[in-house]
Structure 1
Amino acid sequence: MSLQADLYTEFDTDPTNITAFIWWLAKKSGLSRNLRILDIGCGPGRMLMEYARLGWQVTGMEPDPDFYASAKQAAAHHPSIIIKHGGFEDLIEEDAYDLVTAINDPFAYVLDIPKRREALARVYRALRPGGLMFLEVKNFLYKLFYDQPIKEEFGKIDHRRIAHVMQQEIDFHNARWICRDEYIVEGENRTVSKTHTLAIITLPELMYFIEQQGFEQIETYPDYGVRDPQPINGRLILISARKPGVYQVASKT
């Protein structure tokens, strides 16, 4: 993997709880055991490996070139995993997937409201009748109240200590959250920096646009540890919604 992918893997959330939740959600929703899943914004592909271990037919989409290359490398020996370069705007399939996920904020990277509407429309078309969409976005109202403008954490890669400094600011006029990640490698004259700009999306806005696209059975979850729909009360918005229609189990190919 690239250094960027290594840093993401070291400092990002462990996928175990997420995988368990997605498996539970699929089972609760009556989806096929050998379902076809699309993960948009799959990063270096960690979730894809977990989904493949469940026996699912997995497709990952990733627009970032470094993450895309790392995901391709990670999936090289997994015949059930397909990696595509792109994001929501590149999703063109119709009636192709039982489950579409976008975990760790890919939807918030779609900055303009018309493009977010189009992204949801593309997901709707890509789902089979009765299929399920699952989105994770940050609860920015929570972050505005509780987060500090500068945070620091530490990790290790190949026995090298890494300092991760996050600087956050808000563009109130355009409703955007800007995070500057700086990774400092101990003992080396090297710093890796990356700036993320995300749309500030509220739950009522998100639910409105999901309903407008025709989705039904919209449910929210505050974190990956719960096993029943609950109101949002923390730093994450987890939301699932179903495409109308009679769900039929597809034959395995």
Structure 2
Amino acid sequence: MDATTSEFFSEQFAEAKLDSKLSRSETEARWIAEQIPGERILDLGCGRGRVAIPLASMGKSVTGLDSNPDYLEVARKRSAEAGVEIDWRCMSDTELEDESRFDGVISLFTSFGYHSDAVNREVLARVARSLRPQGVLVLEIQNRDAPRTFEESVSEEITSSGQRIEKRYVFDPRTSRRFMTFSYHERDRSHGVGSLDYRLYSVHEMLGLLEEAGFEKMELHGNARGLAYDPLGEHVVYMGSKR
């Protein structure tokens, strides 16, 4: 994980954007388990184990991959507390091995798209190679065509610990990349700024990339809890099987 990525995916980000989603983790894990009939699941960009741990509690054999060692340290503690064993791996999605062993790969909460177009394409190819034939991919990303994508926005959020976060999003239509900057404040004092950008794909672009990578029988959903696909919705879940 490079310095820029490490700076952005901080403890403050985890508290504000990852742990705030813990209440829906069980529901997402149940829906995912229904979509992937096999036992061996790779959680790509697993963070602090928000979905990997409930999947393991359901009897799945889970591998959690993330490039952030601090997040994985928390994930190990949480899985030990939950009494489940998970194969935690600290590595980038660009280092994913060609194992051809997983029954399913999941990538949630827009964990895909942080590289150049060429490298993003290679990541999808690596994902396909890591799956057994007919293995299932569940990929959730932000919808490029959602109206709010094109709006430059500045907002504030107060975390459970009382921390104030100023969030700024800017979309560049020339590159289809979204730039985000999070500024963290506590007691009116700034204590950290993180910036990052990622590629947003339209549905037709993403379907083309997935077909190129070796996926078929694609389905579209609105989130990882089974919501129906909405062309203008904030997220799209792409689900398909390896040819």
| TM-score category, normalised to shorter length | 0.7 to 0.9
Matched to 2:121, the amino acid is: R
Question: Following TM superposition, by how much is the alpha carbon of 1:43 offset from its aligned partner in structure 2, in angstroms?
Answer: 0.9
Show the counterpart of 2:32: 22
Match of 1:108 among 113, 125, 137: 113
Distance 1:184 1:169, change over 3 A: same
Show the counterpart of 2:88: 83
Gaps spanning 5+ residues in structure 1: where? 245-253
Stretch of structure 1 that moved more, 111-120 or 37-46: 111-120
Partner Cα distance (1:174, 1:230) in 2: 25
Deviation per CA, 1:175-215: give whole Å up to 9, x if none.
Answer: 21011122323x37452332221112111111001111221
Show the counterpart of 2:214: 214
Partner Cα distance (2:177, 2:71) in 1: 23
Tell me, yes or no, if the aligned pair for 2:19 and 2:50 is still in contact at 8 Å. Answer: no
Show the counterpart of 2:48: 44
Gaps spanning 5+ residues in structure 2: where? 1-9
Map 1:1-253 → 2, pairs under 5 A: 2-12=11-21, 14-26=24-36, 31-32=37-38, 35-76=39-80, 78=83, 80-109=85-114, 111-144=115-148, 147=151, 149-157=153-161, 161-185=162-186, 187=187, 189=189, 191-226=191-226, 230=229, 232-244=231-243
Partner Cα distance (1:6, 1:177) in 2: 22
Question: Following TM superposition, by how much is the alpha carbon of 1:126 offset from its aligned partner in structure 2, in angstroms?
Answer: 0.5
Deviation per CA, 1:57-108: give whole Å up to 9, x if none.
Answer: 1111111232233223333455520110112211113221101011011112
Tell me, yes or no, if the aligned pair for 2:176 and 2:200 is still in contact at 8 Å. Answer: yes
Show the counterpart of 1:251: none
Partner Cα distance (1:97, 1:224) in 2: 19
Query: What TM-score do you get using the length of structure 1 for normalisation?
Result: 0.81
Matched to 1:104, the amino acid is: F
SS at match of 2:98: coil
Partner Cα distance (2:48, 2:147) in 1: 26
SS at match of 2:18: helix
Residues matched between the structures, number: 232
Distance 1:10 1:190, change over 3 A: farther
Question: Following TM superposition, by how much is the alpha carbon of 1:173 offset from its aligned partner in structure 2, in angstroms?
Answer: 3.2
Tell me, yes or no, if the aligned pair for 1:10 and 1:156 is still in contact at 8 Å. Answer: no
SS at match of 2:88: strand
Tell me, yes or no, if the aligned pair for 1:164 and 1:184 is still in contact at 8 Å. Answer: yes
Distance 1:147 1:154, change over 3 A: farther
| Identity across the alignment (%) | 23
Q: Which structure is larger by alpha-carbon Rg, 1 or 2?
A: 1
Matched to 1:95, the amino acid is: S
RMSD: 2.4
Matched to 2:158, the amino acid is: F
Question: Following TM superposition, by how much is the alpha carbon of 1:21 offset from its aligned partner in structure 2, in angstroms?
Answer: 2.1
Matched to 2:42, the amino acid is: L
Partner Cα distance (1:231, 1:188) in 2: 39
